[in-house]
Structure formats: C-alpha cells, structure tokens
Amino acid sequence: MTTTVPVKKKSGGIRDLSKMFGAGQSGLRQFGILGALVLIIIIFEILTGGKTLEPGNVINIVRGNAYVLILAVGMVMVIVAGHIDLSVGSVAAFVNIIVVIAVRRLDQVLVMPESQQWLKTLMVVAAAVVLALALGAIVGAWQGFWVAYIGVPAFIVTLAGMLVFRGANQVIGNSTPLTVPDYFGVLGGGYIPDFGPDFGFSNGTLILGALAIAAVIFQEFRLRRRQSVIGATPAPLWVSFVKVGVVVAVIIFATYLFATGRVGTSFPVPGIVLGILVLLYGFITNNTITGRHIYSVGGNWHAAELSGVKIKRVNFLVMMNMSMLAGLAGVVFVSRSLSSGPGDGTGWELDAIAAVFIGGAAVSGGIGTVVGSIIGGLVIAVLNNGLQLLHVSSDRVQIIKGLVLLIAVALDVLSKRSGGPSLIGRLRRPGGDAQGPINRPDVAPTAPAEESSRPSSVTPN
Amino acid sequence: MVQGSENSPIILEMQSITKEFPGVKALDDVTLKVHAGEIHAICGENGAGKSTLMKVLSGVYPFGTYSGDIVYQGEVVQFADIRASETAGIVIIHQELALIPELSIVENIFLGNEPRKRRGVIDWDQAHTRAVELLARVGLSDDPETQIKNLGVGKQQLVEIAKALNKNVKLLILDEPTAALNEGDSQHLLDLMRGLKGRGITSIMISHKLNEIEAIADSITIIRDGKTIESLDVKADGVDEERIIRGMVGRVLENRYPEHDGSSIGEVFFEVRNWTVRHPLVAERLVAKNSSFTVRRGEVVGFAGLMGAGRTELAMSLFGQSYGTVVGGQIIMNGEEIRLPNVSAAIDHRLAYVSEDRKALGLNLLDDIKTSIVSAKLSKISSNRGVVDSLREHGIADGYRSELRIKTPTVDVGVSKLSGGNQQKVVLAKWMFTDPELLILDEPTRGIDVGAKTEIYNIIRKLAEGGAGIILISSELPELLGVADRIYTIFEGQITDELTVAQADPETLMKSMTSANKKDAA
C-alpha cells in the first residue's frame, strides 16, 4: 500500500506512518526494517506452506526469542550512547547459576501446603527476578565504573567481562548443569492463564489484544490533538483511519493466533515481560531527560558536555542498565530451560548486537530506537525459525544470518551515501537511482574553516 | 648572501589566484611575488585568506579548484596534491604539526619517504645517520629515537623543519610557526630561519606576531578580505608594526551594526579576578594569566585577540572548567564568590557559552531543531520525575523560530539541514532558553553570511537591552567596534588593555593584541 499513498505534503501521507517510531531519520529507517520484517514473514509463510503463521509456531517464536529481545532493549541504549557490550551472555550465565542455586535452596526452605503452590511459585519467581536484577546491577556497576570513570573503552571492559563472568559461572557451578523445579518455568515458558467462560479462545489473550487496540486508537487520537495544538497540519483524516486500521488488523490477527493455539497455550508470559520492557524503555528513551542525554552523548559528546550533560553518569547508567537486563534475560532463559549450565548465554551478545544494527542503529552512536531493535530482533528470529522449518541445517543458518546482517547495514549505508535520508526514502523517490551518487553534503557549506583558534586538544574525557 | 631581495630572481609568482567556496570568495585575484632566498611574510587578519592561499600553493587545493597561475622557478606548475608540490621542493609546515606522537624522531622524519634497501626493506641505519645530520642542521641534539610525544612543541617544530630539509626543500612555508612557542623557542626558530636563508632556502611565513615579522622578514604581502592589499619591502619602505597594522585593518566600517548609546548599561554584576588556567596537556603552559575583568548588566564586552591568544580558553575555563585546569582566581557574581566545577553548575548560575565551533561543540547534528533548542535546560520543560513535555518543547522551539527568524518550515527539521546562519540562531536560541545572566559568545558570526550577521548583532543588542551581560569574543575588529560597549584586548593569555568603544580604533586594538606592552606604545 505504500506506493499508492500520494506523498505531497511533508507532514502527511506515509511519513506519518513512519512516525510511529518517532520522528526524524531513525523513524524512516525503522519503517524500512518493518517492511523487511513483513516481507520475510510473507516469504517464509509461502515457502513453508503456511507453517510460519500457525499459532503454535508464532507462540514458539516469542517464547524462544524473548531473552534476546530483552537484551536488545538494553543493547540499543548502549550502542546509542556510543559503546558496545560483549559481556551480556556471560553476565547472564553468571547471574543464572547463582539464581538457580538460590531457587533450589528456597524451594527446600519454603514448605507450603499443596493448595498454596501458586503462592510459593509467585514468591520464588519474584525472589529470583529481584536477585537477578540485583546481581546484574552489581556486575553493571563494576563494568560501568571502568567505562565511565576510568575511561577504558567499553569494548575492552566487556571483553574482559565476557571472560571473567563466563569463568565465574563455571567456578560457581562447577561446570555442571543444575536444574530447577518445574513450577519455576512459568516466567520463561508459561502462558496467560485461562479463566472465565470458554469461547474456544484464551480469554486473557483476548483482553490483552483489546487493550492493545484501545491503546493504539488512543495514541492516534492524542497525536492528532497534539498536532492541532502545536499548529502543525495534521495528516488527512483518512490517513489516520488507514493507519489505525492496518495496525488494528495486525493486532486482531496476532490476537487470534495467540488465542487459538493448542489448548492450554496462549500469549506467553515472557512476551508480556518483553512488552512491559519495550513500553518502559521506549518511554524512557523518547520522553525523559535521561533518554535525551543518552542520545546527546552518543551524537556529540563534546556538545553534550558543554550543554551540562554529566557524561560519566550517563555512561555509567547505560552500562549498568545493560547488565541488569542481561540478568533478567538470564532468569527468563533459565525459567524456560529449567536448568543452568556452563554454556548458557554463549553468543547472545552477538544476536543482541545484530538485532540493534538491523534495527537501524548507527555504529557511531546517537541513532537507534528500542522499537527498531525489537523489529531487528524479530527479523533474526523469524529468519531462524523459518529456516528451521525448512530443515536448513544450523551451519547454513549461521551463514545466512551473517549475510543478512551485512546486507541490511550495507543497504542503509549506501542509501545514506547517495544523498537520500535512508533506504525507504530512496524507494519512495521516483527514479532515484538514475541520478547516481550525488554526494550532497548534509550541511550547508560555510566559509572555509580556515583559521580556527580552537586549541587542537580539547578537554580529554 | 645578498640581502637586497629586489635583485635576486623571483622564485615564485602567484598570479590572480581566485578560490571560491560555495557562497564565499575566499581569495579574490590575489597576487604574490617571492624572491629567491628571502623571508617573505604574509600578514592579514583572521579569515583574510592567508592559509587558503598557502593551501592553493602547496596543492592541498589541487589545480583546477582555483583559477589563476602559479609560476614557480620560471614555469607554470599545476600541483595535483601535496606530494606533487613537495617533489618540486615546496614544503608547508602547518600550525597543527603533522607529526605522529607515538613514533620516534627518525620514523617521523622519514615517514612516507623511507630510505630503502632491496625489496622495500627500510634501511634504518642510513635513516639514523641522516637523521643525526638533519637534526644538527636545525640545532637539535636529542636522540633520534626519542618519541615525538616526549618533545616540547618547540622541538617538534624543529623536527618538522628537519623533515622538510630531508625533502630537499627550496621553498619552506611556515604557518604561524611561533604561535604555540614560548619566547626562547620562538627566538631559536627565528634564528634557524635566518640560518636557512643563509643556505639559500626561501621561506614564506604567516604570522600574527608583528614584532617577529618586523625583525625577520625581507618583504611583506598584506592580504585583507581575500585580496592583496599591498606588497612591502621591509628595508626600502621602512616598514614598522604600525605600518603593517594600517594595511591589515584599513577598511571602511560599514554601517551594519545596531545603534547603541550605552543607556542599557547597569552596575557590575560579574567580576573575574586573577584567573589563571593551565593548558590541559602541557602543564607548564598557562593559557590564561592573572586575567581580571568585569561585566556590567546590559553591557556588551568585547574580547579582542589574535588566534591562539587564549580568548576561547579563558571563556571555556570560566564556563564550568570545560577547558584546562584552573589554578587560581575568583569569580564574583552578584556580590558573591561562586564556584563552577562543571558545566551544569555554570548553567545553574545562569552562565551560557556559545562556542565558536557550532558543529563540533555547539550542536548534535543528529538532532532536530526543537530537541537542540531545549537541550541545555531540559529540566525547564520537564516534570519532577524527568519526563519531557514534548508539547511545550515544540511550542518553545516554535517561539524562537519566529523570534529569531530561523528559516525552516517546522522545528522538526534536523539541524544538519540548516545553513550556517540558521544553525547559529538555533545555538543562540538554545542558550537564550537557559535564561542567562551572562552570555559568552565565541565568534558568533564565523562562517555565516552578511545578512545573518546583522540579524545576530541585533539579537545580541536585544539581549543586552533585556539586562543580560554579554561577552563577545571576535576576531573581526569592525564587529567588536560596532557591537561592543567596552573592549578588552588579550595577548598570549594576558589581558593587555581595556578600552571603551569610544576610545578604541583598529590600530590601537591591533597594537594591544600583538604585544604585551600596555598603552605606552601609543
């Protein structure tokens, strides 16, 4: 449908659709990657003969990838601030083993009657989550200290962390897998419980879907009201209707999928955890001072410093937050697999980083969004899943994943170089590629910076 | 060697050189004649086009990007890059030295020019022997294996010259060679230049230090606003500093400055006493020495000084110590001594600093206009919990858009899409939004066109009339004379003079900007 919408007004048309992810360049980038996700889903749906969008499969994709997506939420903030975190897999493993030991203890200590099993489950899971977050915070404070206050590049600090915490996991766990009781699986493998009258759907999932639809409509309403308040010409009303209509249709379809799975299954609990995190961190990055500061440090830390941003504190918080989320991802994973072993979390960092970059973040920092990274993570997840359904062996899956990452970022780089705002901006411009590389400078040229009296060495960080 | 340069042949003649950048004519029909074996100085204010001219000569701006001819040793030359000009014996030593700090003296001297044995293996023995010879010629006795980072700036300069000598230099170009040097090192360098002249090497020297030029140059070419003003023979024309200054500044003051009669000026509210700042990397260098000055409410105070005089450093060190290490001094604001350990403290005390380099230091070029404008005082439009009110953000940005006439359809546009003048207005808006009592403007009109300049002068005046104190750092004397109420001159980190705008004229200012002597020279 994108091609049929006339793009005449700058503030109208499909540009507004892209603003679902926030205004500006990064919004457009993510709009492009969302298109790629839809395309991949359609391709696999055809190739697998309809297996991709079967309820069971969709539920599996969410359950099986929640932990990577949780990591991507933290990773995008790290990358926006201009850093990287290679240690998340090891940190998760380190947190896991301690959480598992604690859960096993707690399970024995906490003796409760059979009828109050739900209470016991709740207490154990809550305690495990709190413990995981606390351990993650301690680890993160350690890494943040080196990055922010000593000035060691995050690449090195977290490479060291990758080794240290992997080793710590194996020392503590004696390099042997430990299991947790089955009931602990609710966090990573559970579903919204069934209740109420039976219509053949999961009622909890229906309610969730209804809430999501209400939120989308409310958001659009607010956006239009806001546009009229600030005097911007809002998009024509029909655009809003089409936009909301498409999103609502997608939500209804997803709700239908999640609500009609095998009896006993519905929308998975880790999906809810992820949803809460996306809303929370999406809000933080878009609407709070802290969020603004993260982008400003990544965009131009000199300017940020001269605007009163406390750069060290921002760097510290971002690194610490990442490790906390790594701890959370770890506990979600343990809950799903019901055990923790010496190899937990191997390669997670790479999946998370790939998700963020496919989702449109810039390697140099300053650009990237939470929603984009989630979409990027879903691209990888659907790709993984689809190739598995097609019985492609895992070695080949790796090759394909690597190439997809490379091509996704290369396309973005190329489209920016040739003067367009982004890939999607280029697709919209009629005959765009006929012009060849324009190399138009982003910034209007000014007088030659001939004699800068600026000292060549500025305040070292 | 014969001193009378008029008699010796012409080694270089640049004829009608014109170089344009989009929207700006940096060089307009410039002519330069240099005789073989002389030391030729090029003088002009900041931005007059001196460095651009030297970049044309050395091939930084290759043939085809400028118009006009370069005749070198009797032939028209067309350099495609620096390498081509170096092969011809023209070597430029930039003000920012092009040495690699982690490499040794030898490695630097022979970088890109390494003596080779068979199959591309570097002949380090030969390099070492050659290096010792070259160092002796420039008067350096350091071990050639010393790392560059362990040498002072003065010695690094000498290594650069040794490197040039290794390339069989015939025409040596020095861009502000003594700007970063202390008195002793400068003297040594000037002696060395005389020595090189004795060996028949021609030098072109760009310098702001007129006493040095007077002492060492045989002839002088003065450039102003991208045009050659005059060429002087130091001996024959009896040139002295005063004569050079007249050539450099002698332009008609255009009437494009807002009227002001000083009626808005109130009492002194901001005072700096004995402010002393150490260079961030070179501990023994002071970038501000015992500087004391005052600012009154509603007053525009100009800081005049040449490049490297320490104006920016002084301003940034006041603004939350964002440059160097403050080793002494007091800031008194509204009768109380205040401490500003970081930028946010400075902003809280209602100081604002508009940096001279808006792209590197003033803006996050990834941001849009509204985000940039509120970025220095987000707390003003946020809830107690730190949630930014985007509606107010937009309204405020829109207000500045119309007030400052920022040319953009909406404030959602990225700042990188704006012209220099409009970017500067965004930066001004960003700092106006912090409600400053003291606004420091560092070269606020650099690189923007005349129309936008006038608009910015009007904004400055309006802010002053609103009661703010303003420090205006500028390299353009007409601008200072047109906008400021009072002017301090700064030379080598020291405040050398204080003049009301009625007392000041370009000549007296330039005199105080180029020497430490107080008024007595007048």
pLDDT for B221: 93
Contact assignment for B366 to A295 by CB distance below 8 Å:
yes
**Size of the A and B interface in Cβ pairs below 8 Å:** 170
Looking at residue A113, its pLDDT comes to 84
Q: Determine the distance in angstroms separating the CA of B263 from the nearest CA of chain A, rounded to an integer.
A: 32
Check pLDDT > 70 for residue A180: yes
| Pair A378, A352: CB distance under 8 Å | no
pLDDT at B420: 79
CA A360, chain centre distance (Å): 11
Which element (helix H / strand E) includes B458? Answer: helix B450-465
Tell me what pLDDT residue A193 has. 81
Per-residue model confidence as pLDDT tens digits over B425-443: 999 999 999 999 999 999 9
Our CA-based measurement puts residue A365 at a distance from the nearest CA of chain B, in whole angstroms, of: 10
Extents of the domains making up chain B = 1-89+170-251, 102-169, 254-350+436-522, 363-435
Residue B4's pLDDT band (boundaries 50, 70, 90)? very low
For the entire predicted model, the pTM comes to 0.78
Instruction: Please say if the pLDDT value at position A22 is more than 80.
Output: no
Name the one residue in this structure whose structure tokens are 């119309």: B402
Is A8 at the interface with chain B, CB within 8 A? no
The answer to whether the Cβ–Cβ distance between A447 and B361 falls below 8 Å is no
Look at residue B207 and tell me whether its pLDDT is greater than 60. yes
Contact B352, B316 (CB under 8 A): no
Interface test with B, best of A309, A450, A456 (most B CBs within 10 A): A450
Task: Sketch out chain A's domains with CATH numbers.
Answer: 14-190+268-428 (1.10.3470)
β-bridge mates for residue B90, sequence order:
B171
> How many Å lie between the alpha carbon of B448 and the closest alpha carbon of chain A?
6
Residues in B closer than 8 angstroms to A451, CB to CB, are 46-47, 50-51, 307, 475
For B172, list phi and psi in degrees, rounded to 5: -105, 125
Does A449 score more than 80 pLDDT? no
Those residues whose C-beta lies under 8 Å from the C-beta of residue B322, and which sit 6 or more positions away, are: A305, A306, A459, B316, B343, B353
pLDDT class for B250, splitting at 50, 70, 90?
A: low
Q: Which positions ≥6 away from B346 have C-beta within 8 Å?
A: A308, B318, B319, B320, B340, B353
The residue behind tokens 């202390």 is B182
Our CA angle for B396, B398, B403, nearest 5°, is 95
Query: What pLDDT is attached to residue A35?
Result: 86
To test the contact with chain A by mutation, choose from B367, B408, B449, B513 the residue with the greatest count of A C-beta atoms within 10 A, namely: B367
Say yes or no: B376 contacts chain A, CB-CB below 8 A: yes
Confirm or reject contact between B364 and chain A (CB < 8 A).
yes
Selected residues 428-447 of chain A with any CB under 8 Å from a CB in chain B:
442-447
Fold identical between B1-89+170-251 and B254-350+436-522?
Answer: yes
Residues B197/B37, Cβ–Cβ less than 8 Å:
yes
CA dist., res. B483 & res. B256, Å (int): 10
Chain A residues touching residue B418 (CB < 8 angstroms):
444
Here the ipTM equals: 0.77
Question: B200 by DSSP, 3-state: which?
Answer: coil
Whether pLDDT at A256 is above 80: yes
pLDDT for residue A318 is more than 90 = yes
Residue with tokens 């045989």: B218
**CB within 8 Å: B365 and A443:** yes
CA of B262 vs chain A CAs: smallest distance (Å) = 30
From B280, B308, B367, residue closest to A453, measured CB to CB:
B308
Look up residue A312 and give its two tokens: 């060290």
As assigned by CATH, the class of the B1-89+170-251 domain is alpha beta
Residue B263's Cβ-count burial label (10 Å; 0-12, 13-18, 19+) is exposed
Question: Does residue B371 belong to the interface with chain A, where contact is any CB pair within 8 Å?
Answer: yes
B278 phi-psi bin (left φ>0, alpha ψ -120 to 50, beta other): beta
Residue B42's Cβ-side half-sphere holds a number of Cα atoms within 13 Å equal to: 28
CB of A197 within 8 Å of any CB in chain B?
no
According to DSSP, the residues that pair with B41 across neighbouring strands are B205, B220
Residues 299-318 of A with CB under 8 A from B: 299-300, 302-310
Which of these, A272, A277, A304, lies nearest to A80 by C-alpha position?
A: A304
pLDDT tens by residue, A347-382 = 899 999 999 999 988 888 899 999 999 999 999 999
Whether B328 contacts chain A with CB within 8 A:
no
Average pLDDT, chain A: 82
Element (H, E) at B292: strand B286-296
Torsion sign, CA atoms B68, B72, B73, B78: negative
CA angle B42, B44, B46 (to 5 degrees): 125
Q: CA-to-CA distance for B174 and B170, rounded, in angstroms?
A: 13
Q: Is B441 on the interface with A (CB under 8 A)?
A: no
- Whole-number pLDDT of residue A20: 46
The 10s digit of each residue's pLDDT in B375-425 is 999 999 998 888 998 888 999 999 999 999 888 888 988 898 887 788 999
The structural architecture, per CATH, of the domain B254-350+436-522 is: 3-Layer(aba) Sandwich (3.40)
- C-beta pairs of A371-374 under 8 Å, 24+ apart in sequence: A371/A20, A371/A21, A371/A22, A371/A30, A371/A278, A371/A282, A372/A21, A372/A26, A372/A29, A372/A30, A372/A33, A372/A76, A373/A72, A373/A73, A373/A75, A373/A76, A374/A69, A374/A72, A374/A73, A374/A274, A374/A278
Q: Which of A233, A306, A422 to mutate to test the interface with B (most CBs of B within 10 A)?
A: A306
pLDDT, tens digit (0-9, with 9 covering 90-100), for B169-182: 999 999 888 876 77
Percent of chain B with pLDDT strictly greater than 70: 94
Query: B274: part of which helix (H) or strand (E)?
Result: strand B268-278
Amino acid at position B468, single letter: A
HSE (side-chain half, CA atoms, 13 Å) at A397: 15
SS3 A208: helix
Q: Which burial class, exposed, middle or buried, applies to A145 when counting CB atoms under 10 A from its CB (0-12, 13-18, 19+)? A: middle
Q: Which of B281, B378, B393 to mutate to test the interface with A (most CBs of A within 10 A)?
A: B378
Of B21, B308, B342, the CB nearest to A445: B21
Q: Which of B47, B430, B448 sits opposite A450 (nearest CB)?
A: B47
Contacting residues of B for A306, CB less than 8 Å apart = 319, 322, 343, 353, 355, 361-362
**Number of Cα atoms under 13 Å in the Cβ half of residue B328:** 9
User: Which DSSP helix (H) or strand (E) runs through A414?
Assistant: helix A394-417
